[in-house]
């Protein structure tokens, strides 16, 4: 499976430019790929002062443009996350669009990041599930969710073989980012596709270093701190090979998963 990670430089307080630039990069990244993954809240960054007017909808022009790119390139798109208005509330939501340009699934961020006061702007998500992407069981989490291993174990036990993580992870905690992404892959024997952004928020840089990690923790592709489209090719049979040797999920004690 060919996967492109769109590590985008997100501009503060410049939604129009972010949308324009993000869609241009997406159209470039989608050529010849099976999946493209975008970063967290790439339309606005954490400039959320006008979130009511900046929030997207499932029927809006940004989602429509992403659907068109998916359909024209026959490419699945994990559209990072965006502020999305759903049933009267605003969520930090990741939308998945299939090769036909149809919405396959969406996930709204469960764990809201207190340091950035996300709870002032977003309602917490309440729908956590897996979905079939080209016949592969997948799921999404978003950024801060990475710090909650029980969430990933729940998804792995539900059958997820690959988890996508759009993020805006800052440089001062960059070492934590790498360790946690690898740990979540290793402890569940799954692939992790983690897409961070570059750029700044209130003068603090974002870390970049988007990566695809194998079920053994091997980094298949990794970026640096600059904007880039990263390309990786994964062999899903790696999951079977790892689990045939050590199948951690078979040995989970149920009393610790409730």
Known catalytic residues?
40, 109, 143
Cα–Cα distance between 234 and 232 in angstroms, integer?
A: 6
What are the beta bridge partners of residue 195? 166
Question: 251, exposed or middle or buried, with CB in 10 Å at 0-12, 13-18, 19+?
Answer: exposed
Q: How do 136-140 and 162-166 pair as beta strands?
A: parallel
* Residues 107, 112, 115, 120, CA torsion sign: positive
- Return d(Cα 12, Cα 257) in angstroms, integer: 40
How many Cβ atoms from other residues are within 10 Å of residue 146's Cβ?
A: 23
Helix (H, G, I), strand (E, B) or coil at 122: coil
Q: CA-to-CA distance for 120 and 66, rounded, in angstroms?
A: 28
Identify the three-state secondary structure at position 97.
strand
């Amino acid at each position: 499976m060919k996967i492109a990670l769109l590590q985008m430089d997100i501009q503060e307080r410049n939604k129009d430019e972010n949308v324009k630039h993000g869609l241009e990069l997406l159209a470039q990244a989608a050529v010849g790929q099976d999946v493209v993954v975008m970063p967290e809240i790439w339309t606005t960054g954490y400039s959320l002062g006008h979130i009511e007017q900046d929030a997207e909808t499932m029927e809006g022009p940004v989602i429509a443009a992403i659907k068109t790119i998916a359909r024209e390139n026959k490419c699945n798109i994990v559209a990072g996350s965006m502020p999305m208005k759903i049933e009267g509330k605003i969520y930090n939501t990741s939308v998945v669009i299939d090769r036909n340009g149809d919405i396959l699934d969406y996930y709204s961020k469960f764990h809201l990041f207190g340091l950035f006061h996300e709870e002032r702007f977003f309602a917490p998500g309440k729908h956590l599930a897996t979905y079939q992407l080209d016949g592969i069981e997948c799921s999404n989490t978003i950024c801060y969710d990475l710090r909650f291993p029980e969430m990933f174990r729940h998804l792995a036990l539900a059958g997820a073989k690959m988890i996508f993580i759009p993020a805006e992870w800052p440089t001062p905690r960059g070492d934590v980012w790498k360790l946690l992404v690898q740990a979540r892959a290793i402890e569940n024997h799954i692939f992790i596709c983690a897409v961070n952004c570059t750029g700044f928020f209130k003068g603090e840089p974002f870390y970049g270093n988007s990566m695809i990690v194998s079920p053994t923790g091997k980094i298949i592709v990794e970026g640096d701190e600059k904007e880039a489209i990263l390309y990786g090719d994964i062999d899903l049979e790696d999951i079977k090979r790892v689990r045939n040797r050590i199948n951690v999920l078979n040995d989970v004690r149920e009393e610790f998963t409730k």
